[in-house]
């Protein structure tokens, strides 16, 4: 999980569902043959349209773009 367990535990159930879906999609992207940075960007942006996105996800994305 990209965010801390402490942060996750403080979240409401509907936000946890969103985070769980995001984490699952990120895991799927890690093991795909597609352009990882582009797919990751699309996934995080889609999440951010519905939820406030923790900075850890933006940092994760920036690290992957730089690679």
Summarize pLDDT for 35-53 with one digit per residue, the tens. Answer: 888 899 999 999 999 999 9
String of b and e for 37-56 (b: at least 16 CB within 10 Å)? bebbeebbeebeeeeebbee
pTM, whole model, 2 decimals? 0.88
Whole domain around residue 22: which residue ranges?
5-66
Confidence category of residue 11, pLDDT binned at 50, 70, 90: very high
Structurally, the chain folds into a number of domains equal to 1
What pLDDT, on a 0 to 100 scale, did the predictor assign at position 64? 85
What pLDDT, on a 0 to 100 scale, did the predictor assign at position 34? 66
CA distances from 14 to 10, 26, 27, 50 (A): 12, 19, 20, 11
């Amino acid at each position: 999980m990209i965010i801390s367990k402490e942060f996750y535990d403080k979240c409401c159930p509907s936000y946890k569902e969103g985070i769980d879906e995001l984490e699952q999609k990120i895991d799927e992207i890690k093991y795909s043959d597609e352009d990882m940075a582009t797919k990751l960007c699309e996934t995080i942006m889609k999440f951010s349209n519905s939820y406030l996105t923790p900075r850890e996800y933006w940092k994760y994305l920036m690290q992957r773009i730089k690679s």
